[in-house]
Protein backbone atom coordinates (compact mmCIF):
# COMPACT_ATOMS: atom_id res chain seq x y z
CA UNK A 1 0.00 0.00 0.00
CA UNK A 2 1.42 3.41 -0.98
CA UNK A 3 1.48 5.90 1.88
CA UNK A 4 2.16 9.54 1.01
CA UNK A 5 2.21 12.77 3.06
CA UNK A 6 -1.55 13.15 2.63
CA UNK A 7 -2.68 9.55 3.17
CA UNK A 8 -5.16 9.13 6.02
CA UNK A 9 -5.58 5.58 7.27
CA UNK A 10 -8.70 4.35 9.03
CA UNK A 11 -8.24 0.81 10.32
CA UNK A 12 -11.13 -1.39 11.42
CA UNK A 13 -10.17 -4.51 13.33
CA UNK A 14 -12.16 -7.56 14.35
CA UNK A 15 -11.50 -10.76 16.25
CA UNK A 16 -9.23 -12.12 13.49
CA UNK A 17 -6.37 -9.77 14.40
CA UNK A 18 -6.17 -11.28 17.88
CA UNK A 19 -6.66 -14.90 16.78
CA UNK A 20 -2.93 -15.60 16.52
CA UNK A 21 -2.43 -14.18 20.02
CA UNK A 22 -4.71 -16.98 21.21
CA UNK A 23 -8.01 -15.10 21.59
CA UNK A 24 -10.85 -17.13 20.06
CA UNK A 25 -12.87 -15.48 17.28
CA UNK A 26 -16.65 -15.39 17.40
CA UNK A 27 -17.90 -17.17 14.35
CA UNK A 28 -15.16 -19.57 13.30
CA UNK A 29 -15.24 -23.22 14.36
CA UNK A 30 -14.39 -23.29 18.05
CA UNK A 31 -15.37 -19.61 18.25
CA UNK A 32 -16.85 -17.96 21.26
CA UNK A 33 -20.48 -18.23 20.36
CA UNK A 34 -20.16 -21.98 20.07
CA UNK A 35 -22.41 -23.56 22.62
CA UNK A 36 -24.03 -20.20 23.34
CA UNK A 37 -26.94 -18.49 21.73
CA UNK A 38 -25.74 -14.94 21.11
CA UNK A 39 -28.88 -13.49 22.64
CA UNK A 40 -28.25 -15.44 25.85
CA UNK A 41 -24.85 -13.93 26.59
CA UNK A 42 -24.69 -10.73 24.57
CA UNK A 43 -27.97 -8.89 24.89
CA UNK A 44 -29.69 -6.84 27.61
CA UNK A 45 -32.55 -9.36 27.53
CA UNK A 46 -30.16 -12.25 28.12
CA UNK A 47 -28.60 -10.42 31.05
CA UNK A 48 -31.99 -9.64 32.57
CA UNK A 49 -33.01 -13.29 32.21
CA UNK A 50 -29.83 -14.84 33.63
CA UNK A 51 -27.10 -12.48 34.89
CA UNK A 52 -25.16 -15.40 36.38
CA UNK A 53 -24.86 -17.14 33.02
CA UNK A 54 -23.73 -13.92 31.36
CA UNK A 55 -21.16 -13.22 34.09
CA UNK A 56 -19.90 -16.80 33.85
CA UNK A 57 -19.34 -16.30 30.11
CA UNK A 58 -17.44 -13.02 30.50
CA UNK A 59 -15.56 -14.26 33.57
CA UNK A 60 -14.28 -17.16 31.47
CA UNK A 61 -13.20 -14.72 28.79
CA UNK A 62 -11.40 -12.57 31.36
CA UNK A 63 -9.62 -15.61 32.76
CA UNK A 64 -8.76 -16.66 29.21
CA UNK A 65 -6.82 -13.40 28.68
CA UNK A 66 -4.16 -14.49 31.20
CA UNK A 67 -0.77 -14.46 29.49
CA UNK A 68 -2.18 -13.29 26.13
CA UNK A 69 0.08 -10.78 24.38
CA UNK A 70 -0.36 -8.51 21.34
CA UNK A 71 1.11 -9.90 18.10
CA UNK A 72 3.04 -8.46 15.15
CA UNK A 73 -0.18 -7.26 13.49
CA UNK A 74 -1.14 -5.18 16.54
CA UNK A 75 2.42 -3.84 16.66
CA UNK A 76 2.44 -2.95 12.95
CA UNK A 77 -0.54 -0.68 13.61
CA UNK A 78 1.37 1.06 16.42
CA UNK A 79 4.26 1.71 14.02
CA UNK A 80 1.86 3.05 11.41
CA UNK A 81 0.24 5.38 13.93
CA UNK A 82 3.68 6.74 14.88
CA UNK A 83 4.31 7.52 11.20
CA UNK A 84 0.96 9.15 10.51
CA UNK A 85 -0.02 10.81 13.80
CA UNK A 86 -3.46 12.42 13.45
CA UNK A 87 -3.82 10.98 9.96
CA UNK A 88 -4.40 7.61 11.62
CA UNK A 89 -7.47 6.27 13.42
CA UNK A 90 -8.10 2.76 14.72
CA UNK A 91 -11.68 1.61 15.19
CA UNK A 92 -11.81 -1.78 16.84
CA UNK A 93 -14.70 -4.14 17.47
CA UNK A 94 -12.48 -6.09 19.84
CA UNK A 95 -12.95 -5.90 23.58
CA UNK A 96 -9.65 -7.65 24.42
CA UNK A 97 -7.57 -4.51 25.02
CA UNK A 98 -4.65 -5.82 22.94
CA UNK A 99 -4.34 -2.69 20.76
CA UNK A 100 -3.86 -0.50 23.83
CA UNK A 101 -1.48 -3.07 25.31
CA UNK A 102 0.60 -2.90 22.11
CA UNK A 103 0.76 0.89 22.37
CA UNK A 104 -1.97 2.20 20.04
CA UNK A 105 -3.38 5.52 21.24
CA UNK A 106 -5.87 6.79 18.68
CA UNK A 107 -8.37 4.00 19.33
CA UNK A 108 -12.12 3.87 19.30
CA UNK A 109 -13.38 0.80 21.14
CA UNK A 110 -16.69 0.41 19.33
CA UNK A 111 -17.85 -2.54 21.43
CA UNK A 112 -16.49 -1.59 24.85
CA UNK A 113 -13.89 -3.41 26.92
CA UNK A 114 -13.81 -6.86 28.49
CA UNK A 115 -11.67 -5.68 31.41
CA UNK A 116 -14.12 -2.94 32.45
CA UNK A 117 -17.36 -3.15 34.40
CA UNK A 118 -20.10 -0.65 35.11
CA UNK A 119 -23.14 -0.39 37.32
CA UNK A 120 -26.55 -1.19 35.83
CA UNK A 121 -28.09 1.51 37.98
CA UNK A 122 -25.90 4.41 39.11
CA UNK A 123 -23.91 6.73 36.85
CA UNK A 124 -20.44 6.06 38.22
CA UNK A 125 -18.05 5.86 35.27
CA UNK A 126 -17.06 2.41 33.97
CA UNK A 127 -14.05 1.11 35.89
CA UNK A 128 -11.15 -1.28 35.28
CA UNK A 129 -12.11 -4.77 36.44
CA UNK A 130 -10.14 -7.90 35.67
CA UNK A 131 -12.04 -10.08 38.13
CA UNK A 132 -13.25 -13.44 36.91
CA UNK A 133 -16.23 -13.77 39.25
CA UNK A 134 -16.79 -17.08 40.97
CA UNK A 135 -19.56 -19.22 39.59
CA UNK A 136 -22.78 -18.55 41.41
CA UNK A 137 -21.87 -15.02 42.46
CA UNK A 138 -23.31 -12.02 40.64
CA UNK A 139 -21.16 -8.96 41.37
CA UNK A 140 -22.98 -6.01 42.92
CA UNK A 141 -22.15 -2.30 42.85
CA UNK A 142 -20.35 -1.28 46.05
CA UNK A 143 -21.32 2.37 45.68
CA UNK A 144 -25.04 1.56 45.42
CA UNK A 145 -24.71 -0.85 48.33
CA UNK A 146 -23.26 1.94 50.49
CA UNK A 147 -26.55 3.78 49.87
CA UNK A 148 -28.56 0.70 50.75
CA UNK A 149 -29.45 -0.14 47.13
CA UNK A 150 -28.86 -3.53 45.48
CA UNK A 151 -27.64 -3.10 41.90
CA UNK A 152 -25.86 -5.54 39.61
CA UNK A 153 -22.61 -4.77 37.88
CA UNK A 154 -22.33 -5.66 34.20
CA UNK A 155 -19.44 -5.94 31.75
CA UNK A 156 -18.78 -2.65 29.92
CA UNK A 157 -19.49 -4.29 26.59
CA UNK A 158 -21.87 -3.16 23.87
CA UNK A 159 -24.43 -5.91 23.46
CA UNK A 160 -26.68 -6.59 20.51
CA UNK A 161 -29.45 -4.01 20.37
CA UNK A 162 -27.45 -1.47 22.38
CA UNK A 163 -26.07 1.89 21.29
CA UNK A 164 -22.39 2.30 20.55
CA UNK A 165 -20.43 4.48 23.01
CA UNK A 166 -21.38 8.12 22.66
CA UNK A 167 -19.45 9.87 19.93
CA UNK A 168 -17.82 6.72 18.52
CA UNK A 169 -19.51 6.82 15.14
CA UNK A 170 -19.39 10.62 14.95
CA UNK A 171 -15.61 10.55 15.47
CA UNK A 172 -15.14 7.93 12.76
CA UNK A 173 -17.40 9.81 10.34
CA UNK A 174 -15.54 13.06 10.99
CA UNK A 175 -12.24 11.32 10.20
CA UNK A 176 -13.67 9.89 6.97
CA UNK A 177 -14.98 13.30 5.89
CA UNK A 178 -11.70 15.03 6.69
CA UNK A 179 -9.74 12.39 4.75
CA UNK A 180 -11.97 12.41 1.65
CA UNK A 181 -10.13 10.99 -1.38
CA UNK A 182 -6.98 10.60 0.73
CA UNK A 183 -8.65 7.92 2.82
CA UNK A 184 -7.29 4.39 2.91
CA UNK A 185 -9.75 2.22 4.78
CA UNK A 186 -8.23 -1.04 6.01
CA UNK A 187 -10.39 -3.79 7.52
CA UNK A 188 -8.50 -6.57 9.31
CA UNK A 189 -9.85 -9.88 10.61
CA UNK A 190 -13.55 -9.17 10.61
CA UNK A 191 -16.42 -11.15 9.14
CA UNK A 192 -18.23 -8.02 7.96
CA UNK A 193 -21.53 -9.10 9.46
CA UNK A 194 -22.04 -6.72 12.36
CA UNK A 195 -23.20 -3.17 11.74
CA UNK A 196 -22.32 -0.33 11.90
CA UNK A 197 -18.71 -1.52 11.52
CA UNK A 198 -19.57 -3.56 8.41
CA UNK A 199 -20.86 -0.39 6.68
CA UNK A 200 -17.61 1.56 6.97
CA UNK A 201 -16.30 0.24 3.68
CA UNK A 202 -19.28 1.90 1.93
CA UNK A 203 -18.65 5.14 3.81
CA UNK A 204 -15.06 5.07 2.55
CA UNK A 205 -16.25 4.54 -1.00
CA UNK A 206 -18.69 7.46 -0.78
CA UNK A 207 -15.88 9.94 -0.05
CA UNK A 208 -13.72 8.55 -2.85
CA UNK A 209 -11.33 6.63 -0.60
CA UNK A 210 -9.65 3.30 -1.30
CA UNK A 211 -10.43 0.18 0.69
CA UNK A 212 -8.29 -2.79 1.71
CA UNK A 213 -9.17 -6.02 3.42
CA UNK A 214 -6.84 -8.41 5.21
CA UNK A 215 -8.62 -11.58 6.30
CA UNK A 216 -7.93 -15.27 6.56
CA UNK A 217 -10.81 -16.06 4.21
CA UNK A 218 -13.24 -14.10 2.07
CA UNK A 219 -16.00 -12.68 4.31
CA UNK A 220 -19.59 -11.83 3.36
CA UNK A 221 -18.81 -8.29 2.16
CA UNK A 222 -15.59 -9.12 0.27
CA UNK A 223 -16.78 -7.64 -3.04
CA UNK A 224 -17.11 -4.20 -1.45
CA UNK A 225 -13.30 -3.86 -1.17
CA UNK A 226 -10.89 -2.49 -3.79
CA UNK A 227 -7.97 -4.63 -2.61
CA UNK A 228 -8.20 -7.98 -0.86
CA UNK A 229 -5.36 -9.86 0.83
CA UNK A 230 -6.24 -13.32 2.07
CA UNK A 231 -3.89 -14.65 4.74
CA UNK A 232 -3.04 -14.51 8.45
CA UNK A 233 -2.92 -11.03 10.00
CA UNK A 234 0.52 -11.48 11.62
CA UNK A 235 2.03 -12.03 8.19
CA UNK A 236 -0.09 -9.77 6.00
CA UNK A 237 -0.59 -6.65 8.14
CA UNK A 238 3.12 -5.81 8.61
CA UNK A 239 3.66 -6.56 4.90
CA UNK A 240 0.85 -4.20 3.84
CA UNK A 241 2.38 -1.15 5.52
CA UNK A 242 6.05 -1.56 4.60
List, by residue number, the catalytic residues: 111
Contacts of residue 111, defined as CB under 8 A and 6 or more positions apart, other chains included, come to 92, 93, 94, 95, 157, 158, 164
What φ, ψ does residue 156 adopt, rounded to 5°? -85, 65
Q: How far is the CB of 103 from ligand OAD (least distance, A)?
A: 20
Q: DSSP letters of 57-75? A: HHHHHHHHTTT----HHHH
| Minimum CB distance to ligand OAD smaller for 191 or for 210 | 191
- Contact (Cβ atoms closer than 8 angstroms) between residue 3 and residue 241: yes
Q: How far is the CB of 222 from ligand OAD (least distance, A)?
A: 10
What φ, ψ does residue 167 adopt, rounded to 5°? 85, -10
| 112, β-bridge pairs | 157
Q: How far is the CB of 180 from ligand OAD (least distance, A)?
A: 27
Distance between first and last Cα of the chain = 8
Closest listed residue to residue 105, CA positions, set 116, 90, 94, 127: 90
Could you list the beta-strand ranges (E) of 74-174.
Answer: 88-92, 107-109, 112-119, 127-128, 153-157
| Minimum CB distance to ligand OAD smaller for 144 or for 229 | 229
Q: Under the rule (CB under 6 A), what is the footprint of ligand OAD?
A: 14-16, 19-20, 25-28, 31, 42, 93, 111, 157-158, 189-191, 193-194, 215-217, 219, 232-233
Q: Which residue is nearest to ligand OAD (CB)?
A: 16
Amino acid sequence: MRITDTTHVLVLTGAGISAESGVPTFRDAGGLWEGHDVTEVASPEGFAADPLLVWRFYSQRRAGMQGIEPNTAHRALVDLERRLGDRFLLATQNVDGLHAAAGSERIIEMHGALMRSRCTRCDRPPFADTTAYRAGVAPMCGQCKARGVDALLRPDIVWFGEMLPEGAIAQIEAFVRRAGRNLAFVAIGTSGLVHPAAGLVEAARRVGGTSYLVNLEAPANVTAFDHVVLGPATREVPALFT
